[in-house]
Amino acid sequence: MANNKTVVPEAKEALNRFKMEAASEVGVNLKNGYNGDLTSKEAGSVGGQMVKKMIKAYEEGMR
């Protein structure tokens, strides 16, 4: 069973903004609340974009 509790509650809004930004960048119409109508490809592209941005930010921080 998955545990979706946010460890740092203040981070929840920031994560939601990050997710919406990533969705916008890949052209997925993400809305607040239920998004069960997304295809696996659309949902995966949002998650993939988020990971790419996190890796880029990490690499830039290492310089």
Question: According to the model, what pLDDT value does residue 7 have?
Answer: 80
For residue 63, pLDDT beyond 90: no
Give 18's pLDDT tier (boundaries 50, 70, 90). Answer: very high
Amino acid at 2: A
Q: Model pTM?
A: 0.79
Mean of pLDDT values over 41-49: 96
Mean model confidence pLDDT for the chain: 91
pLDDT of 32 over the 80 cut: yes
pLDDT for position 19: 95
